[in-house]
Structure 1
Amino acid sequence: MDFKIKNLAKIFDGKIIGDKELTISGVSSIENANEGDITFLSNKKYSKYLNDTKASAIVIDKSVSIPKSSKKTFLLVKNSYLTFALLLTEVNKKIGIEKIGIENPNFIHKSSKIQQNIYLGAFSYIGENVEIGNKSKIYPYSYIGNNVKIGGNTIVYPGVKIYDNCIIGDHCNIHANSVIGSDGFGFAPNSKNEYTMIPQIGNVIIEDNVSVGSNTVIDRATLDSTIIKKGTKLDNLIQIAHNVIIGENTVIAAQAGISGSTTIGNNNLIGGQVGIIGHLKMGDNVKFGAASKVIKSIKQNKTVFGYPSMEKNEFLKSYIIFKKLPEIQEKIKKLESLLKIK
């Protein structure tokens, strides 16, 4: 897997400081690298490793100062984090095993249409009228229900369940044991305080370039569609309820839950364990601090924290007071004692 750093400089429009003929033989983190490896620095917390790392080359932002005494080779780029991510993508293609073909045993309904160069793992089930695009991969023990459409270059990892009528776009990754299209949580109470299930007859639409983490569940709509728009990235262990719409290029961290019929805007950043109640609307470019609990709609370009969630500056002011509550309580007790208030 050897490659020249000068070739990387051409690909990523970077500038080399050091040995322009350096050959790279591996990639690693800055603290665990060995001679011949290339690593990166995008977080200033790791600057302490610049002098001590054994890496032969370091991808670094143009804005970062390089130690004058360093004998390392540096590749200066506009965005070192993105550059290294793209580099890892290419490395992964080279070291990965390209799976093509159909393994047995499996079940493929005769009405389904499967394009060329796909991989279908053992013990997978392909229902009626399924369409699977070119170069997609369905790993073992996956279930693809009736009338499901899967685009090209999409990977469905082991144990994934995709229920009837769902649509998955191109270049998507659905990680192990996720469930796409299960029933929404809809029950109607009657006069006896019993609950009657409301049939969920919609579907889930996942657009292009979406990543769904392991053990994430996306419920089908009661009517119409639950929609995950293009470029969105979902972490592991996320619950997306019926009729939710998530905008483009939104990122959601683990253990978040979004209740039914809520709309999330484009380019939102939702931290871990965030909870959003149903029937709300979030604007574009909203940031949600971890564990925030959202009970009202939020306009675009806001940052919110806390429970119930509030705008960042309001939250910080409130938190300062909250930390002083024990002190304030003691002062109140002393005042009550002085005033002889029981």
Structure 2
Amino acid sequence: MDIPISEIAKLLDAEVIGDGSVRIKTISGINEAEKGHLTFIIDPKYIPALKKTKASAILVQADIKCETGIPQIRVKDPRKAFKILTDSLAPPPIEFPAGIHPTAVVAEDAIIGDNVSIQPYVVIESGVTIGDNSVIGAQSYIGHFTTIGSNVKLYPQVIIRERIKIGNNIIIHPGTVIGSDGFGFDKNEDGRYTKIPQIGGVIIEDDVEIGSNNTIDRARFDNTIIHRGTKTDNLVQIAHNVEIGENSIICGQSGIAGSAKIGKRAVLAGQVGVNGHVNICDDVILGAQVGVPSDIKRPGFYMDTPAKPHMEVKRRWAQRRLVSEALKKVKEHEKRLNELSGEKE
């Protein structure tokens, strides 16, 4: 890419402030940008960073006042504009040729759809079905009787165990394991633990994206279910018999214990922990490091551990601050009274 910002503005139906002939070679974050880079601002709090950025131009939300000598492209929605730019100007996606690599091991009875790419050292067991236009990345493993839909992309070293159902239009990033045994053990009278068989499966519905190094356990009975449109970050643990509603977001290092049910359009920020057998209703947002020990029955934004409505948490924080300030003043008065008492004596 090497184009003037005036051409970018035309693409975005945007206004240019400054020199429209400045040429852009790539897109970067405000702190990483160099000469020839385009960066963006969607929040006024980042305006001070403009003093240090080396970017040649800035994509700015139209209602943000931004006084700088750097040329600006002013748009209503920078996030949407950036997506248009990346879709239009980014390098073309890597294409994998259809076919089975000679080093792959594919069972004779496996059903492989049209235009499927099976990369080096893949193992596909008996009874597997893979839909059209899917890619199975290098060193991946597909277990017995698993079904994978169409337009599915498995990056390298994904493991999908036996009797798992993967829908259509799904992306699974490297290192993820789907269908591990749920964590279930009975304690014997002698103190030893006996494994409880985990004979259920996992269902991943259409349009789901799963980050790297996720572990999604199979159910003890029935299925662990990730419903349509849900996206998970890296390092997410989803235990046996969990059900996650449609169009939810699960951020990194979150853990969801067995048989928890999470509603539609949920957002779990980083390092959220959800207790087993908990039910969370639709439209709940859980802030970072929130612990959920019991059911959440009302939509809203929750913080703290145990999870509480965020306004309640903020009020408690304010009260603690006020109490702390009051105690400080009391100690100052006590000190002064002691000093006065000493002077009288």
TM-score scaled by structure 2?
0.83
**Cα 1:91–1:129 shift into 2, 3 Å:** farther
> What residue number does 2:340 align with?
none
Q: Does 1:289 align with 2:283?
A: no
1:237 aligns with 2:235: yes
Deviation at 1:295, TM superposition (A): 0.9
Mapping of residues 130-209 of structure 1, within 5 Å: 130-209=128-207
* Native 8 Å contact 1:124 1:139 kept in 2: yes
Letter in 2 for 1:172: I
How many angstroms apart in 1 are the aligned matches of 2:309 and 2:72? 44
| Cα drift, residue 65 of structure 1 | 2.4
1:59 corresponds to: 59
1:326-341 mapped onto 2 (5 Å cutoff):
none
Report the CA distance between 1:16 and its aligned residue.
Answer: 4.4
The aligned counterpart of 2:338 is: none
Shift, 1:116, TM fit: 3.0
Any idea what SS the aligned residue of 1:135 has? Answer: coil
The letter of the residue matching 1:219 is D
In structure 1, the residue matched to 2:77 is 79
1:338: which partner in 2?
Answer: none
User: How far, CA to CA, are the matches of 1:215 and 1:240 in structure 2?
Assistant: 11
**Contact 2:158-2:175 at 8 Å conserved across structures:** yes
Q: Secondary structure at the match of 1:58?
A: strand
Distance 1:313 1:197, change over 3 A: same
Cα contact 2:256–2:276 (8 A) shared by 1 = yes
The answer to whether residue 96 in structure 2 is matched with residue 99 in structure 1 is yes
In structure 2, distance between residues paired with 1:219 and 1:49: 44
Does the 8 Å CA contact 1:168/1:205 hold for their aligned counterparts? yes
Give the secondary structure class of the aligned counterpart of 1:83. Answer: helix
Question: Which residue is 1:39 aligned to?
Answer: 39
Deviation at 1:208? 2.3
What is the identity, as a one-letter code, of the residue corresponding to 1:221? A
CA pair 320-158 structure 1, distance change in 2 beyond 3 A:
same
- Specify the SS of the correspondent of 1:205: strand
In structure 2, relative to structure 1, the CA distance for the partners of 1:308 and 1:113 (3 Å cut) is same
1-structure distance, mates of 2:147, 2:185: 29
Secondary structure (helix, strand or coil) at the match of 1:128 reads coil
What's the CA shift for 1:322?
Answer: 5.4
Provide Cα deviations, 1:135-158, integer angstroms capped at 9, x if missing partner. Answer: 322211111112222223322122
- Counterparts of 1:242-281 in structure 2, within 5 Å, are 242-281=240-279
| 2:279 counterpart SS class | coil
TM, length-normalised to structure 1: 0.84
Quote the offset at 1:90 in angstroms: 4.7
Q: Note if contact 2:58-2:70 (Cα within 8 Å) is conserved in structure 1.
A: no
What SS does structure 2 have at the residue aligned with 1:314? helix
| CA deviation after TM superposition for structure 1 residue 57, in Å | 3.6
How far apart, in 2, do the equivalents of 1:175 and 1:26 lie? 25
Task: Point out where structure 1 has 5 or more consecutive residues left out of the alignment.
Answer: 336-342
Which residue of the partner structure matches residue 112 of structure 2? 114
Counterpart amino acid of residue 273 in structure 1: Q
Task: Could you tell me which runs of 5 or more consecutive residues in structure 2 were left unpaired when the two chains were aligned.
Answer: 335-345
- 8 Å Cα contact 1:25/1:37 also seen in 2: yes
**What letter corresponds to residue 95 of structure 2 in structure 1?**
E
| Structure with larger Rg | 2
